[in-house]
Amino acid sequence: MAEDNLALDIPIEILFKYLLKDYHREQQRTLYLEGQIRSLLKRNTYLEQETGKVKQQLLKKIERNEKEIDYSQEISQLHQAVSCRNNTIEQLKNENARLKNELDTYMLFLGKI
């Protein structure tokens, strides 16, 4: 090792001084990066919690939309039932009018006899 130092031709005090500066610089950088990591971990935790909340809200919206779809199908079925009922009422009115006409005709016929 002493031979290597001789080949570099740098005094040990200066080498140690620069190594110590590098060490302190890296120590500060490490502290900064650890702070960044803590900050990112906190943000990640927060985002995971928010993601869960948003997911629950979306699931609720989907359930509500599915219920609305079910209601629209029920409404469609009710419209069909009402339409069918109205058609039946119309047919019965026509049949009633026809029978009334036949009864009137029959009563006139009986009155002429």
What amino acid is encoded at 56 in this protein? Q
For the chain, the average pLDDT equals: 87
In the predicted structure, residue 35 carries a pLDDT above the cut 70: yes
pLDDT at 71 over 80: no
Domain count within the chain: 1
Look up the domain containing 90 and give its range: 2-112
**What's the pTM value of the predicted model, to 2 decimals?**
0.44
Name the DSSP letter for residue 20: H
Task: Give the whole-angstrom CA distance, residue 97 versus residue 35.
Answer: 91
d(CA 103, CA 105): 5
